[in-house]
Amino acid sequence: MLQAIRNHTTGLLARLLFVLLIASFAIWGIADIVRSGFGQVTVARIGSKSIHLSEFRQSLELEISRLQAVSPQPISIQILKSQGALSYVTDMILTRSIMAAYTQHAGILPDPASVALTIVQEPALRDANGQFDPSKLTGVLSRLRLTEQDYADQVGLNLAVTRLNQAVGSLLQLPDSLLRTIAATSFQQRKIEYVRLPISSVKAAAPTEAEMQRFYQEKADFFLERDYRAISMIKINSQAVASQLPVSEEAIAAAYQQQLSAFKVPEQRTVVQLLFGEEVKAKQAYEALQAQKSTSSEAAKKIAQDHGGTVNDLGRVSAQDLLPQLADAAFKDGVGVRAPVQSPLGWVVLSVQSITPPRTQELKDVRQQLRDGIAARDATRMISELQTRIEDALAGGGSLEEVAKLSAQPIVRLAKVDRWGKDDRSQDIANFPNTDRVRDAIYSTTVGQITNLTLDDGTFLVMRVDQEIPTSTRPYPKVRDEIVQLLTKQKQQAAAEATLQTLLTQARAGSTLGQLASAGGGKTDSSNFFTQQDNPLELPPELVMGLFNAANQDLLTGQDQKSLWLVRLTDIREFTPDDQPSPTYKQLTEQLTTSLQKDVTDALQQDIRKTLGVTINDAALINM
């Protein structure tokens, strides 16, 4: 299989497909969590390499930032948990990492030229004119906290994984006879004559008081009140404490001197980059720039275009912002043009336009940063000491009121909190930390007991459950209107079913659909041919299913929220791909092939896990 994979990933066609497919996700890369890391908790092992919790959380944060970029709603680990999506995201990250490890293990990494081509052609890294824009790449690197080389390495891993999946897929072909059989069923067509009556025309008697009382007694479970907890809590937030702490100017000045090396800004240079796919083109452009003796970006852009390259104004950069080979060239001499240099991006000619000497940021520029850092450090220490004192007090039988005095924080009392962290109107509760851990703690703590938690945002929370408010049945007067609506709907449904049965009986006895429509205040009409996938009349789904299992001239009934339907099947048209070419046939072929490829790829991934020896610490992921 591996040899077949290699054979299928070396051809020109595979390369072209590869460039198209990688564009959708290359910009995000494969989080590099398969290298050795640090930390106490291992969430997974891939072969001899461990993925530690700290590394995995970083990868998860990067994935969340990708999701946040396309989501109008805020996304966090807690939100993913609450929506049941965290396991899907973590499995996706682990699967990518496992596949990346396998490509390295199997030796099917792409060549540097393919990686460079992919990066340059990534749509998300192009400007309004369709040119590769290094500033966009710089933004991605900053967001993902990667160097250019790390990014190139990760794009290479993505390419390898895509090649692997494509190679597997290219070996799979569905038999044409099977496709034709499925298409003959999927693209059969039906034509109908129908009566459509408004459901509002169905009359039903209003429910009586006796019926409503009986329904209330028999269906008491319908009207149960949720159970609640009444709680009192004290919140101690490190950020709030830090914002209120005084920090002296002497302390800020001392911190500035201690951290002075961190405020040194290295030498920066304004650089224009010309990128070429071939060395000969790069040399020609370099000679043209030297002859012109101009370092302007306009001159560089024209020369790059004349020689089949692209130009990118990098702006002001430091040496660490560039690939090592480019940094060596850019920072070696003064202003001027540099000879072509080969990099993972291709052949590069650099034009250095200006030089900004190294400098040190002044105290006034970093004062707020230093102040916040000192306050955060002091707040963390204070809260840590306070937590210890509070825990000692609670261990000694201290009350919540004593904790309030000790912490100088108010007690917040909530009269009703349900299992979802909502109030008795199903509304969010202001300033309530509505997380899984908090809700679980509330419902696992007995009345009168006090529990304390440290939350992800640094909040230290002390809570007491004051009262359990059990489930109870709401009084009849409060639910009477609901019962009226429920019983009225039931009676209308029963009347609608009886009406449909009457129409069906009359149609089978010889009445025409036109006659039935006139008598019922509806209309009769006929349709054009349609397939099971189409539904131009918006027929009820169960009626559509029945039509494609019925014989010609059969009568069927159906109902939706607005209408009653009596339908006669009047014609059946078979689908033959040879006689009736259709884009839907091609679409069906692609869908079925894709589905089969996914099944085989999933099986391959399971086999790869066994080959590499993958173990996953589910408990660590659940408690993350």
Residues 327 and 385 placed together within one structural domain of the fold: no
Q: 409 and 551 share a domain?
A: no
Dihedral sign computed on CA atoms, order 220, 225, 228, 230: negative
**Do 155 and 6 have their domain in common?**
yes
- Looking at 447, 470, 493, the residue that finishes a domain is 470
- Mean pLDDT, range 209-232, rounded to an integer: 90
Whether 605 maps to a domain, the answer reads: yes
* 35-39, 124-128, 314-318: segment of lowest average pLDDT: 35-39
| pLDDT confidence of residue 37 | 38
pLDDT, average across residues 195-210 = 87
Residue 493 belongs to some domain of the structure:
yes
The pTM assigned to this predicted structure is 0.40
Q: What is the pLDDT of residue 36?
A: 36
pLDDT tens track for 53-65: 766 776 677 667 6
Q: Are 80 and 64 in contact (CB under 8 A)?
A: yes
Per the prediction, the chain carries an average pLDDT of 79
* 168 & 200 share domain: no
DSSP E strands, 389-458: 412-417, 450-454
**Is residue 583 included in any domain, yes or no?**
no
Per-residue pLDDT tens digits for 407-446? 888 999 999 999 889 988 888 998 898 888 899 999 999 9
Specify whether the CB–CB gap between 120 and 345 falls below 8 A: yes
Q: Kindly list the distances between the CA atom of residue 283 and the CA atoms of 85, 286, 290, 326, 329, in Å, as whole numbers in the listed order.
A: 52, 5, 11, 16, 15
In the predicted model, what is the mean pLDDT of residues 156-183?
Answer: 72
**Backbone phi, then psi, for 589, in 5-degree steps?**
-60, -45
- We report the CATH number of the domain holding residue 76 as 1.10.4030.10
Which residue type sits at 349?
V
Residue 409's pLDDT is 86
Q: Which residues lie below 8 Å from residue 47, measured CB to CB, with a gap of 6+?
A: 101, 105, 612, 613, 614
Most confidently predicted of 67-81, 146-160, 341-355: 341-355
Q: Dihedral of CA 117/119/124/127: which sign?
A: negative
Question: Does the pLDDT value for residue 100 go beyond 50?
Answer: yes
pLDDT of 172 > 70? The answer is: no
What value does the mean pLDDT take over residues 86-113?
74
Instruction: State whether 203 and 320 are in the same domain.
Output: no
pLDDT band at 228, cuts 50/70/90?
very high
Number of separate helices (H) and strands (E) present in the chain? 23, 21
Domain around 327? 267-357
Element (H, E) at 555: strand 555-559
Percent of the chain residues past pLDDT 90, beyond the cut? 17
51 and 82 within one domain: yes
Instruction: Decide if 546 is inside a domain.
Output: yes
Phi, psi (degrees; rounded to nearest 5) at 277? -85, -20
Confidence at residue 65, expressed as pLDDT on a 0 to 100 scale: 65
**Phi/psi class of residue 42: alpha, beta or left (left: φ > 0; alpha: ψ in -120 to 50)?**
beta
385: domain CATH number is 3.10.50
Whether residue 201 is found in the same domain as residue 292: no
Instruction: Give yes or no: residues 398 and 458 share one domain.
Output: yes
Q: Is residue 211 part of a domain?
A: yes
* DSSP helix/strand/coil, 422: strand
Cα separation, 554 vs 567, in Å, equals 8
Name the domain count of the chain: 4
Both tokens of residue 133?
């824009």
- Tell me if 118 is assigned to some domain: yes
- Residue 92 shares a structural domain with residue 148: yes
Residue 181 in domain:
no
Same domain flag for 145 and 9: yes
Q: Is residue 582 part of a domain?
A: no
The pair of structure tokens assigned to 263 is 């405020």
Whether residue 324 sits in one domain with residue 283:
yes
